[in-house]
Structure 1
Amino acid sequence: MQSILQNTTGLGPKPVQPDNLNGRVAVVVGGAFGIGFEISRALANAGCRVIMVNRKEEQGTDARETIKSESPDASVEWRECDMGHLAQVRDVFSQLRESLDRLDFLVLCAGINTNEFGLDADGIDRHFGVNFLGQFYVVNQLWPVLRKTSKMPGTPAPRVVFESSEMHRTAPNNVHFASLEEINDSSIGPTELYGRTKLAMILFAKYGLAGKVIKENQDNIYAMSVHPGAVNTAMQQQWKDAYPGLTGKLLTWAMLAFGRDVKQGSYSALWALTDPKIEEQNMNGFYFSDPDQPGKESAQASDEKLGSALWDLAHRIVKDKLGEQALVDWKSCA
């Protein structure tokens, strides 16, 4: 619906089409499907080397073939990884860290939509594990090469962008990010489980990366979160699983009927990745609800103490699952 309105009236999100990204390198987690694919596609068509990371090989094959059919000279690759499996994340992204000479763009948009409670391979609520914790660990594993890139003469500051959502407002009122037991509370409803992960993305970008790592290291790197809008992707079908019966069918219909198309859903992230205004106005840690539109965060998303609790919990869980040496020192440089 929103794509039709934009074509006929000009209303809708501001279109973003980057160009002249030759020599730049991007890693797009969730990059072979949905919004992530449109981000990968736009970056690759602009000359950027793009490495897409997804769980399903057929998505990677289809995405790569589509991009190469449009831009035969595009440099586009695919890696397999399940964000709900921390040991796999470590293996895949530590290898990437060692192989990359530079990394200009890191996009975190893998995810499970609103769905029923379940556990991932590490025994963690699958929403939290896939949508946040696995991608937190990706950032940690790749941070040294982002830092290396930031120190290259004449190089624009690398950028890290999380696909969050206005759904962060649906996080439980009593979220504290105090323990794994809290995260694994099976009584929390599907919408609240999803909203909690989107809240975590905003908090991590703002108070974790921008507030702790970048500020302390004085890194020339920008971390942001964005809202893509309600987008017509296959993920909207998960409402039927989250709310079996008529309610789930109606929610799916509403999202598909009135949402943006997938290309429109990519604009917020593409703007945050490439617009010079980010550096010119030092918009580190910002949450954007549309291109060039800072969002109005919830009270929880503006809670620095909650951000610190999330930071501590993420580190504790990764170390508990993989050992004390699992995390890369945030001060290290490739």
Structure 2
Amino acid sequence: MKRATPTRDRQPWTIDDAPDQSGRTVVVTGSNTGIGYETASALAGRGAHVVLAVRDDERGRAAATRMRARHPRAAVSVQRLDLSSLASIRAAAEQIAADHPQVSVLVNNAGVAHSPRAFTEDGLERIFGTNHLGHFALTGLLLPSLLDTPGSRVVTVSALAHRQVEDIDFDDLRRVDDYDPWTVYGESKLANLLFTRELTGRLSGTNTIAVAAHPGLARSDLSRNASRRERALFRVLAPILQTTAMGALPTCRAATDPTLGGGEFLGPRRRGIRGAPVVEEPGVAARDDRTARRLWSISEALTDVVYPV
């Protein structure tokens, strides 16, 4: 990932600063609710055709209806996608590519957190399997459509939690010996950044770039699986949480800002917690090229998805 000094924009970036997105197709995972919904809605409002890639068709259609009510001219479609199933990912990628030969932006937003120990359909630990491996597979399968689209980009949503871990436990990715949902979530968010770092290098010389973002401390629905104690903590933090719409702005900027060259990491300007999006520096562990390459190799083996770059 590109080494960057945090930016100090003269004027805070808002969605009105995003260029017109007419004629561009944007795929957003986990977009029926929370930050994914606000991201998709904002980009639809700027003229993009937004594909809501969601696990529940009915909730996806309800989200599309809400978006059209907010933006009457919005072009929105729904694609079923279960990131905990490699079969579902392959089917969704095939359908998206058939429906949209050119994909301008893929936003890897969907996430699982605070989950008790569980496994994906393919026997992978659920949080890491969904947050990183599912998006790794989806991106690889959609990459031909992205590479055929001038000015395309892959945006992957990480989190402040990537700073709470120092490495990824590659020797126990299924968490047979130990399981702590906070640690596993942090590792999955670190993986999102290492993935972006390695992908940035591989995309050098192409029409496509990779960018990462995080929402800071924002209201979302990630706490739906939290324990009673964790929900109590979220209630204490509530006064400092920014709105879901504000939390979506770093992703929206990552998806649209023409000044980005690839490899940047965007987050809220006030200590990475609140405010308008700026470019910031990720944690030290997210800048390790050796770990990024190791993660890539293991991800290809676990998903059976090999990138064309």
- Structure 2 partner of 1:154: none
In the alignment, is the contact (CA less than 8 A) between 2:147 and 2:206 conserved in 1?
Answer: yes
Residue matched to 2:266: 288
Q: Deviations over 1:106-159 (max 9, x none)?
A: 101111123322211111110011111111111001100111112xxxxxx112
Between the aligned partners of 1:140 and 1:116, the Cα distance in structure 2 is 28
Q: How high is the TM-score relative to the length of structure 2?
A: 0.88
Q: How does 1:33-48 map to 2 (within 5 A)?
A: 33-48=33-48
Cα deviations by residue, 1:5-26 (Å, 9 ceiling, x for unpaired): xxxxxxxx74323352111111
Q: In the alignment, what sits opposite 1:160?
A: 154
The one-letter code of the counterpart of 2:168 is V
Alignment of 1:105-184 (within 5 A): 105-150=105-150, 157-171=151-165, 173=166, 175-177=168-170, 179=171, 181-184=172-175
Q: How does 1:1-334 map to 2 (within 5 A)?
A: 14-17=13-16, 18=18, 20-150=20-150, 157-171=151-165, 173=166, 175-177=168-170, 179=171, 181-185=172-176, 187-207=178-198, 209-211=199-201, 213-215=202-204, 218-240=205-227, 245=228, 247-278=229-260, 282=261, 284-290=262-268, 293-319=278-304, 327=305, 329-331=307-309
Which stretches of structure 1, 4 residues or longer, exceed 3 Å deviation after superposition?
none
Q: Is the 8 A contact 2:223 2:231 kept in 1?
A: no
Ranges in structure 2 where 5+ consecutive residues have no aligned partner: 1-11, 269-275
Query: What's the offset of the Cα at 1:259?
Result: 1.0
**8 A Cα contact 1:32 1:60, kept in partner:** yes
| Corresponding letter in the other structure for 1:314 | S
Provide the aligned C-alpha RMSD in A: 2.0
Question: Where do 5+ consecutive residues of structure 1 fail to align?
Answer: 1-12, 151-156, 320-326
Identity of aligned residues (%): 27
Indicate conservation of the 8 Å contact 2:210/2:263, yes or no.
yes
CA contact (8 A) 1:236 1:256 kept: no
Q: Normalising to structure 1: TM-score of the pair?
A: 0.82
Question: For 2:120 and 2:239, how far apart are their aligned partners in 1?
Answer: 31
Give the drift of 1:230: 1.5
* 3-state SS of paired residue (1:149): coil
Structure 2 Cα separation of the partners of residues 314 and 128 of structure 1: 11
Q: Is the 8 A contact 1:166 1:289 kept in 2?
A: no
Q: Say if 1:202 and 1:329 are closer, same or farther in 2 by CA, change over 3 A.
A: closer
1:199 and 1:183 mapped to 2: Cα distance? 17
Could you tell me how far 1:237 is from its partner in structure 2? 3.5
SS at match of 2:121: coil
Contact kept, 8 Å, 1:15 with 1:264, in 2: the verdict is no
Query: d(CA) in 2 for partners of 1:315 and 1:328?
Result: 6
Q: Secondary structure at the match of 2:74?
A: coil
Whether contact under 8 Å (2:110, 2:131) holds in the other structure is yes
Asked whether the 8 Å contact 2:112–2:222 carries over to 1, the reply is yes
The whole-number CA distance in structure 2 between the counterparts of 1:144 and 1:34 is: 29
Question: Number of residues paired by the alignment?
Answer: 291
Bigger helix share = 1
SS of match in other structure, 2:226: helix
Does the Cα contact within 8 Å between 2:49 and 2:75 map onto a contact in 1?
yes
Secondary structure of the 2:252 match is helix
SS in 2 for 1:285: coil
**Local SS of the residue matching 1:266:** helix
Contact 2:167/2:187, CA 8 A, preserved across alignment? no
Amino acid at match of 1:257: P
Q: Do the aligned partners of 2:249 and 2:277 also contact (CA within 8 Å) in 1?
A: no
Q: 1:298 to 1:146 in 2, by over 3 A?
A: same
CA positional deviation for 1:293: 2.3
CA distance in 2: counterparts of 1:131 and 1:203, whole angstroms: 13
8 Å Cα contact 1:162/1:205 also seen in 2: yes
Residue 232 of structure 2 aligns to which amino acid in structure 1?
Answer: L
Query: 1:188 and 1:299, CA in 2 relative to 1: closer, same or farther beyond 3 A?
Result: farther
C-alpha change, 1:170 and 1:88, in structure 2 (3 Å) is same
Higher relative contact order (CA closer than 8 Å, sequence separation 6+):
2
